Chain A
Amino acid sequence: MQPTRRQFLGATAATTVGLSTLLSGSATAQVDTAEWEYKPDHVTLSFDQTELEAYQPKFETSRDARRKMVDLYGFKAESSEWDVDVYAYWLRYNFQNSATDSLGTLSSLLSFGGPDSHFRDHEPSYIFVDPEGTPDKAVVTGYHHYALDIPFDDALWTEDRLAGTRSHVHLNVVDPWHHYKSVPPPADESTATLLESTVDLENWLEARDPWVDNGFYANSHAPAIENPFVMYNDRDTWWADGTVDKQLAPLWITLGLGGARDSDDLRVED
């Protein structure tokens, strides 16, 4: 199912403005926590725990990954210019391997003296939902903050919180990098549980300022965070343009580094 855009051109224009703003400034520009300068006026953000739990992905994780999880943070984005809503989730860890770790001593050379910005990171999964409350698709990090599209498909989604709706995409967390692969739910779907026993679902809108203070936006494409609609089709990565992470990730993919061999077909590879 393809969503219809109310104002396709308008939305594109908004995205373009976001891109040009970023390109004209530094990719690591300081963000004033008091401002939401990358959220367009047509976008409204909110947090309703029950509603967000209804579309929360089901994660298949190792014990090690669960140990490193801090919390799952979510918010809902609505727009007068889009026929879909977005349920956005960021899973935060307190430790993550760098994409270049597998290179050993070569890693510092290839990553310009330090771990890439993915080091100790936050992993996004956006669930796009149509006006009837049915998932349209998921866009998640499929490798190193590069987008992976997961269409709404009975074989990949499970039912739990919404009766009669398979609202939970099933994701496998790839150790130790923590990006996602799309995997079918287990045969006994009741064994696929939400993370609530491991981590809490927190309000990202409240966490946003402390995250900004800790460099969350430093190498990210800020509109892809504050205006998650830009990840519907238009971008293939959450990285900001011009960052080393964005420029080198295709190389990592080609070389198969940092779990790139353990990933699905990314949007960037299409």
Chain B
Amino acid sequence: MTDHTHTRDDDSEDAPTRRRFLAGAGTGMVAALTPLASVSLPFGLSDPAAMSELATTYDAFGGGTATDLAIEHGTDRNPSWPVVYSEGKRDSLETWLTDSEDRKLLAEHQPSRAATIIASPGTIRSLARKDWIEQVDINIEVSHVKPVANLDTRVENSGLGLTSFQRRLVGTLSELPSTTGLATDTDAEEVTPAQVRQILNADTEAVESLDTSTVTVAVVDTGFNAAGGDILGDRAEGDDYSPRLLAESKSMITDETVVDDGLDAIEDGNGHGSFVASQILGNPTDSDYQGLMPAANLLVVKALNKDGGGTMVDIANGIRYAAEQDVDVICMSLGSPQYGTDIAAALEYAVEQGAIPVAAAGNDRQGTRWVATPASSEQAIGVGATTGQPAEDALSAYFSNIGPHPGTTDLSEGATNGAEPAVAAPGMKIRAKVGQTNGSTTIRTLSGTSMAAPLVAGVVGLLLASDSSLRGEYEDVRSRLRTHARPIPRAGSTEVGAGMVDADAAITETETGDQTDEMTDEAFSRNEAYRGLSRQQGGFLVRFLQ
């Protein structure tokens, strides 16, 4: 069974070497085909080792990935930079900040030694050269994994995200991934939460008898519309909202909390977060729209605005905030094709604090292709999307991002090499009852890995409710989930990981079979082609270097 095989880059001394490699030949096919890729080599050498590869692409006077995505501040238009300082060096950072009036502290989380600083690129490079600075990244825009509004009826390889010349070269080196067997619009039927519970084997006696009221799930997203008591239920007479909605729910954008500022603090002008939360925790009067854990508690962490966009720093700090509220599960239906060291560090902190992060794989298989950040992290359970069918019939959604990540295309310096979705869940034409900003509710149908991730978060919560010894045990939970996932024969492990999550099997530790043994020839062929493509994009060489 294939799993994440990448290892974290802990040795900063290694970073320049790897970066040099990745900037040049390491990008594999990209470097081979794009002369400009090797041009970055000498510039890469001059960057401090502590700076992330993404941060080095910021150029105030020209192009570059980070230049396009950076969050800039004030009249100077300086970016903000998440940094991690060494243990015991908080005073040194404070001294550095006050050494000049051109540096400003935007946010800080001292327990994880993380600070976000507004400064010019030159100033931040001087900071990155200090031996007490461990990591410098750049704050970029990250968005929710945008639901697929109109599912395609057919999908072709023309959207591989490669130029025609690159595709011809790949074709000569390995088999081009086939799109045959992927689920498109015509393959997907609408499914209600009640049907989803059946598909995930969450409607058995063993599952439905669980008391989930001791479980708390954080939804890091666009907010949540409580719509009175219509979504979470249980509202007492005279209360504005259900006690299951934690008063510590917070907007990372405005720093407002429900306890201090009321429900407006987390108002969801987008609806995405409300959809996700309803899938996990919904408890309306209509049982068809009951979520997987109708008695669990919800911590809303609003890190994305009404357009679905947010900053890497708000998301990272949202993850940290959720962890500090002692949540059991963190659901993140959001992502970026660019790796973020701040989010990676926040996930590490969250896992240390006992939270189990779950993340959507991404909806861009025909473009950026590989599992997005944060699903590509070792510290998050990445989730791929399938049709709303039992595992034996399900198909992988054509948009659902895949692995194994080569680690060369997301400016991660190889950190994401080998990352794949850990498991899968239905993510096509999913129905849910959603609260609106005017206090009413509506039934919406959405498609995307955003809709698959909350189902896995719900199953994780059920697992924790069944066995309290698993709380805070990220690796054990992940392993249990994968070991007892149900194989999806018509999908590759690069698409669905260990298969469809199965709540009852995970709880009762029932044997379910092995995804890699059950694949059809078509799925196997697609799987091998994806692996070949990953190798061509430098994945093999990165693994060799590691």
Contacts and interface: CB of A to CB of B under 8 A. Distances in A.
Interface of A: 68, 70, 92, 94-95, 120, 206-207, 209-211, 213-214
Interface stretch (B92-100, B189-197, B331-339, B348-356): B92-100
Interface in B82-99: 89, 91-92, 94-96, 98-99
Most buried by A among B92, B95, B99, B100: B99
Contacts of B13: none
A213 B132 contact: yes
B156 interface: no
B94 A210 contact: yes
A38 to B, nearest CB: 19
Contacts of A210: 89, 91-92, 94-96
Contacts of A70: 98-99
Given A92-B98, A94-B101, 15 more contacts: A68-B101, A94-B99, A94-B100, A95-B100, A120-B100, A206-B91, A207-B95, A209-B92, A210-B96, A213-B89, A213-B92, A213-B96, A213-B130, A213-B132, A214-B130
A206 B94 CA distance: 13
A210 B96 CA distance: 8
A214 B91 contact: no
A35 to B, nearest CB: 15
Nearest to A70: B98
A207 B95 CA distance: 8
Contact of B95 (A68, A95, A211): A211
Interface in B109-136: 130, 132
A69 B100 CA distance: 10
30 contacts: A68-B101, A70-B98, A70-B99, A92-B98, A94-B98, A94-B99, A94-B100, A95-B100, A95-B101, A120-B100, A206-B91, A207-B91, A207-B95, A209-B91, A209-B92, A210-B89, A210-B92, A210-B94, A210-B95, A210-B96, A211-B95, A213-B92, A213-B95, A213-B96, A213-B130, A213-B132, A214-B95, A214-B96, A214-B99, A214-B130
B165 to A, nearest CB: 43
Given A213-B130, A213-B132, A214-B130, A120 B91 contact: no
B207 to A, nearest CB: 54
Nearest to B101: A94
Nearest to B103: A94
A70 B98 CA distance: 7
A181 to B, nearest CB: 25
B92 A214 contact: yes
Nearest to B93: A210
Nearest to B89: A213
B99 A120 contact: yes
Contacts of B89: 210, 213
Contacts of A207: 91, 95
A184 to B, nearest CB: 32
A205 to B, nearest CB: 12
Nearest to B94: A210
Nearest to B98: A70
A127 B325 CA distance: 53
A210 B88 CA distance: 10
Nearest to A68: B101
Contacts of B94: 210
A68 B91 CA distance: 20
Task: Please name the 5 residue pairs, one residue from A and one from B, whose CB atoms are nearest each other, closest first.
Answer: A213-B92, A210-B95, A210-B92, A210-B91, A94-B101
Contacts of A206: 91
Contacts of B100: 94-95, 120
A72 B444 CA distance: 62
Interface in B56-100: 89, 91-92, 94-96, 98-100
Contacts of B91: 206-207, 209-210
Interface string B374-388: 000000000000000
A120 B103 CA distance: 13
Contacts of B95: 207, 210-211, 213-214
Interface string B306-346: 00000000000000000000000000000000000000000
Nearest to B90: A210
A214 B99 CA distance: 9
Contacts of B98: 70, 92, 94
A210 B101 CA distance: 17
A226 B389 CA distance: 74
A120 B95 CA distance: 12
A209 B132 CA distance: 12
A213 B129 CA distance: 11
Nearest to B95: A210
A118 to B, nearest CB: 13
A94 B94 CA distance: 12
Contacts of A209: 91-92
A94 B101 CA distance: 6
Contacts of B92: 209-210, 213-214
The residue among B89, B95, B132 with the most chain A CB atoms within 10 A of its own CB is B95
A252 to B, nearest CB: 22
Listed residue (A92, A211, A214) with the most chain B CB atoms within 10 angstroms of its CB: A214
A214 B89 CA distance: 11
A211 B132 CA distance: 12
A209 B92 CA distance: 7
B103 to A, nearest CB: 9
A207 B96 CA distance: 12
Nearest to B91: A210
Contacts of B99: 70, 94, 120, 214
A214 B133 CA distance: 11
Nearest to B99: A120
